[in-house]
Structure 1
């Protein structure tokens, strides 16, 4: 750990929060279930606040903005378990998957004025179902926050590959580990953001999108990393919703550490690498296709490497921050388990190959959604002794 990294953390660890989007499906057919209102009401009774999304077959949970990564695990476990119980009580099943296994039925758009306006403006784009994970890291100064975005841009494809969890759509393997990323990329304001010279530059780009009707409001800035429109945070939103709480914890911890390392670089006067946006899009496409089970496009060398090499390089880059946060061993062990057992996309494909039925994949995904969360306070992020037990 360098003195500068240590000093950064001694002045206050950046706050951290996570939002997770989930799919609701019929437990008998696996088809999307349009019961977000009922699940939300049941969740309120169980003490979990659920937000409705664009589609009525989705709900979103959010943690509080905590001071330490370890504050999150209990909240993630409790919210997943309570939301799964609310879904079951409403006659449907909760799934941590990036896309629906089958297309939703007609009338799936949530009946709010904003969502109905979006459906009218963007047509069939609004009918797609995509479930992501959004990690918020507190950064009060907008000028610094924009520079942090620049430093995070080259790592976006690796974060996507690590969390890819949507290979199946319309009942078949799409050929992509993250079909969600491909679907979501059709929105005109999605994908990796441009390289920004300043906060004013960021605001000017958003202003142009508003003036030209590309977006209807600032919340529709769907870049893979952006400034939150309602919180003093940098929001990283490249990832599919991870299959398990442990994988969400790993993602959140890596993102937290990336922001710490970016802040260190900015204070040291280091400029972020100005990666060409088309190259970055190509690297994200490769990550969406291959996930962890193939190649990755290294945007610095512009060469293909294995996905494993890309992830290991990320962990090595943030190791000083992880050490300062006390999370290096936990993250290293979790990454080893993910490579040994597979991330969400790999596990789904393995189950489909073994069983041959999408219904079996859905059942497995439902179990993994709140895996290990029956008694969340009895399990810590780093308490996984022994060899990995793979699904």
Structure 2
């Protein structure tokens, strides 16, 4: 897992389907997935809401391959969506008003969730970026998670792309995180001293009724229940493929550096769950280039300084894997044009209103965004 031999990495991206006339969400996910599957098979899937779809990549070693796989899967979904008369939109929350109650997909787990959480799911319409890093030793994955927990607020801030929700400016950069944070079984995971401790905590939460299945917790960081990966689930989806790839590269380097520390016997910082949730809330409110609590070291620091600390920890791996130019270019784009939430608000101010925001998001999603990968300056 060191030097020039990086573990494989994969991502899942969730997207909204929107009507090009109204810009409202369109509940045709099952039909879009059926069409796209003819091109890319099981790399596409339905999501919780019937107006959403998911794209997945196979495991990739290099970030160039990851970029190409995301583009390939997106292209299949874009084409399928157009054939159904809708468009693909990468935003953490729906921008314009969603009329009528949310229509959930047909998966039994979704139906069980509706029974369990009831009105809490009435507006549970959120689209995420999940990053998987190959880490088959589940005991080590849990201990690695203890080291990675303090970085979750930074990842929330860097990816925040949901300032609007159903026609309203929330005042937040990442409203998706706020929606998820109201659920007792979502958000940052608890500190766990071992895999058995992790399982015990999940069972205890499930016994209250707050979690559907203890074997499938939906915390922001988890050893995947079925895959040999550590999965990071706290980030908003981005329309810019280069940003997604850079974030995935940064996550991989942080996971590997954390795994090295855990393997050497370092138990990781015991960050209080309340402090970590508060830091994620602040990150969701302010995003980039705001400030927020440093959940590991304490105090409040600019997000840019926290990013420098993350890159400092990850730099030996980023250099060894050849990923630092992409990560550096991502931070340069943030410095020059702001994060996803800033871009959405800028688009709203150019005269098109929220419908114009949807149009720009769709355009960026369909074409992979406009950010290049030039530049090697580090944050």
Corresponding residue of 2:81: 87
Question: How many angstroms apart in 1 are the aligned matches of 2:99 and 2:147?
Answer: 38
Corresponding residue of 1:108: 103
TM-score by length of 2: 0.93
SS in 2 for 1:24: strand
Does residue 1:61 correspond to 2:51, yes or no? no
The structure 1 residue matched to 2:323, chosen from 322, 327, 333, is 327
1:218, distance to aligned residue in structure 2 (A): 4.2
Corresponding residue of 1:39: 32
Corresponding residue of 1:199: 195
Matches within 5 A, 1:1-391: 8-9=2-3, 12-47=5-40, 49-101=43-95, 102-106=97-101, 108-127=103-122, 128-218=124-214, 221-355=217-351, 357-372=353-368, 383-384=373-374
Cα gap change, 1:383 to 1:54, in 2 (>3 Å): closer
Equivalent pair of 2:329/2:376 in contact (CA under 8 Å): no
Question: How many angstroms apart in 2 are the aligned matches of 1:144 and 1:155?
Answer: 18
1:385, distance to aligned residue in structure 2 (A): 6.3
Equivalent pair of 2:2/2:320 in contact (CA under 8 Å): no
Q: Name structure 1 gaps, 5 residues minimum.
A: 1-6, 375-380
What RMSD over aligned residues (CA atoms) do the two structures have, in Å?
2.1
1:298, distance to aligned residue in structure 2 (A): 1.3
Cα gap change, 1:107 to 1:257, in 2 (>3 Å): closer
Cα offsets for 1:47-88 (capped at 9, x unmatched)? 354211111011011101223333211000111122112111
Equivalent pair of 1:154/1:280 in contact (CA under 8 Å): yes
Question: How many angstroms apart in 2 are the aligned matches of 1:220 and 1:98?
Answer: 22
Question: How many angstroms apart in 2 are the aligned matches of 1:179 and 1:163?
Answer: 12
Cα gap change, 1:64 to 1:315, in 2 (>3 Å): same
Equivalent pair of 1:52/1:60 in contact (CA under 8 Å): yes
Mean CA deviation greater in 143-152 or 335-344 = 335-344
1:231, distance to aligned residue in structure 2 (A): 0.5
1:8, distance to aligned residue in structure 2 (A): 2.8
Equivalent pair of 1:244/1:370 in contact (CA under 8 Å): no
Question: How many angstroms apart in 2 are the aligned matches of 1:33 and 1:132?
Answer: 18
Cα gap change, 1:17 to 1:386, in 2 (>3 Å): closer
Cα offsets for 1:144-170 (capped at 9, x unmatched)? 111110010010000110000000012
Question: How many angstroms apart in 2 are the aligned matches of 1:61 and 1:208?
Answer: 32
1:176, distance to aligned residue in structure 2 (A): 0.6
Structure 1 runs, 4 residues or longer, greater than 4 Å off: none
Question: How many angstroms apart in 2 are the aligned matches of 1:370 and 1:255?
Answer: 25
1:110, distance to aligned residue in structure 2 (A): 1.2
Mean CA deviation greater in 211-220 or 195-204 = 211-220
Cα offsets for 1:210-255 (capped at 9, x unmatched)? 3332222247512110111111111000101123101100110011
1:300, distance to aligned residue in structure 2 (A): 3.4
Question: How many angstroms apart in 2 are the aligned matches of 1:112 and 1:286?
Answer: 34
Equivalent pair of 2:337/2:343 in contact (CA under 8 Å): yes
Equivalent pair of 1:77/1:370 in contact (CA under 8 Å): no
SS in 2 for 1:105: coil
Cα gap change, 1:385 to 1:298, in 2 (>3 Å): closer
Cα gap change, 1:271 to 1:289, in 2 (>3 Å): same
Q: How many residues align?
A: 374
TM-score by length of 1: 0.90
